[in-house]
Structure 1
Amino acid sequence: MDNAKRVRFASLHSDTAPLLIYNAWDAGSAVAIAAAGAKAVATGSLGVAGAQGHDDGQVIPLADLLGTARSIVNAVEVPVSIDFEGGYAADPGTLTKNAALLAETGAVGCNFEDQIIGGDGVFAPAVQADRIAAVASSGLFVNARTDLFLGAMKRSEDPNQSALVDQAIERATVFADAGAGSLFVPGLSDPELIATLCNAVNLPVNVMMLPGMPQPAKLGELGVGRVSWGPGPWRMMMAQLEQDAREIFTAN
């Protein structure tokens, strides 16, 4: 890992000018995004998996994910963060080994989530703190994702609930103590609740753009330190590709 890039990546998280992450899925998309002026490149798990014919949720083999990470790092000059999902393990010992492998690719950061992949719900805060500490031991900048809000969306519930924000604040405290560099809250979109969360935690807050949300400059005014687009770019590009191909095949 390039420590200078890691330090630069951490410094880009600002509540005055949020770090903008238009998520990539392979080396080619990363090069295009970097050429457009991105200060850093980060992947989204759905796009990375989909680009290689896999479903989301750690279906793509770890070796393939590491290969993708390495190819992106080698293709761009800006810092690279990789969506590591749940780290391909539940126990801290295996997580430590897996995170070290990711750091060896040259990536400086990772998304690391608290949902129980293949199970239900999220890990208890203390359990997830131990898991975060294991990943952070690699030196990676850990964007600690909580699935409290996405979980509500999957249950067809409103994710913008004060009770969920309170739980996220509790998690942010223990996540920070465990070595997290930022808190990722995909699914939370209400400006007032976002501001409440940002004001209550000591970590930079990463939100994911959803329809109807304020623009990044306004999110920065609310205290947001990082804005990402998640699977949006991948879905948009694949939809356009399919539409273009369909027009060709139906016309000929």
Structure 2
Amino acid sequence: MSHDPGPAFRALHQPGNPFILANAWDAGSAKMLAALGAQALATTSGGHAFTLGRPDMGTVTRDEALAHAQDLVAATPLPVSGDFENGYGDAPETVAETIRLACEAGLAGCSIEDTAFDTDTAYAFDFAVERIKAAVAATRALPRDFVLVARADGIMNGYYDVEEAIRRLQAFDAAGADCLYAPFPKSVDDLRRIVACTDKPINALTAGPVFSKVTRADYAAMGVARISLGSALARVTQQSLIDAATPLLAAGDFSTLGTAADRATVDAMLSTPS
């Protein structure tokens, strides 16, 4: 591709000056977020799965994720990062191929998790590091800039504690990952420990009962470089559907439809050039 979104995307990653990485789930939400002022977008594996009528966690194929990513890349001029789960396979060679395909799809970067979906466990430490080393090697061989995010998902999934997450993040750092990410530590203090464990940019997930209450200024003071939304916006939209449709279907009460967004406003946002 002639356009390289990587340098602009990489430049956004400034510890202590975090940007908000807005996770979109289709071309329409991507355009809306861009019109609202997002600096960069990301796919959300959960949000994408919901649009396909599937639950989150390992239900989307690589081909589906790549096609979806291309749709988001085409929707706006913003850089887009791919939420690519575990790289869509266990083998390091599969992860490396996913990186190459992500670049071809026009993405500015992507994230790779340490979750083995087939067994619902975390990959063993040494194998998790080997997978990131393969991803780094593939990234360095690309014809353009690409931001690789290495994720330690064991806290979120209940596989290990913050000490093991930090051990893994430091190993991923040493392997050459550009950005590091351990979703949903148990506390803000644990997030501070994660930020302090490396000089690399740290992504924080702002969702759930704890971290949705932390402000951008708070994240900046901790040294966070990037704040992602995960599937939270997609789930907020789903909750709006539940809240609006439940009374009308259960009791014939249509009053919730009075809160719908103005069509002209939405149309104007969706008319923004790609």
TM-score, normalisation: structure 2:
0.82
Structure label with greater radius of gyration: 2
Mapped contact 2:187–2:210 kept (Cα < 8 A) = no
8 Å CA contact retained: 2:45, 2:56: yes
C-alpha displacement of 1:3: 6.9
Task: Name the counterpart of 1:151.
Answer: 157
1:185 pairs with 2:182: yes
The answer to whether the 8 A contact 2:30-2:76 is kept is yes
2:269 maps to what in 1?
none
Aligned match of 1:39: 39
The aligned counterpart of 2:196 is 199
Amino acid at match of 1:144: A
Distance 2:2 2:152 in 1: 27
Structure 1 counterpart of 2:261: none
Compared CA separation, residues 3 and 92, structure 1 to 2 (3 A)? farther
Distance 1:10 1:135 in 2: 17
Q: Distance in 1 between matches of 2:2 and 2:174?
A: 24
What's the counterpart of residue 211 of structure 1? 209
Aligned to 2:57: 57
Report the residue type matching 2:49 in the other structure.
A
Q: How many residue pairs are counted as aligned between the two chains? A: 243
Quote the offset at 1:55 in angstroms: 2.1
The AA in structure 2 aligned to 1:251 is G
8 Å contact kept, 1:125–1:174 = no
Structure 2 counterpart of 1:72, one-letter code: L
Deviations 1:210-238 (Å, cap 9, x if unpaired)?
32332121111011111112121111101
Say which SS state the counterpart of residue 143 (structure 1) adopts. strand
Higher mean C-alpha displacement, 27-36 vs 186-195:
186-195
Q: Unpaired segments of 5 or more residues in structure 1?
A: none
Matching of residues 105-116 of structure 1 within 5 Å: 105-116=105-116
1:135 aligns with 2:132: no
Q: Is the 2:133–2:175 Cα contact (8 Å) retained in structure 1?
A: yes
One-letter identity of the residue aligned with 2:181: F
Unaligned ranges ≥5, structure 2 = 254-274
Question: CA–CA distance in 1 between the matches of 2:189 and 2:244?
Answer: 40
Structure 1-normalised TM-score? 0.88
Residues 63-102 of structure 1 aligned to structure 2 (within 5 Å) = 63-102=63-102
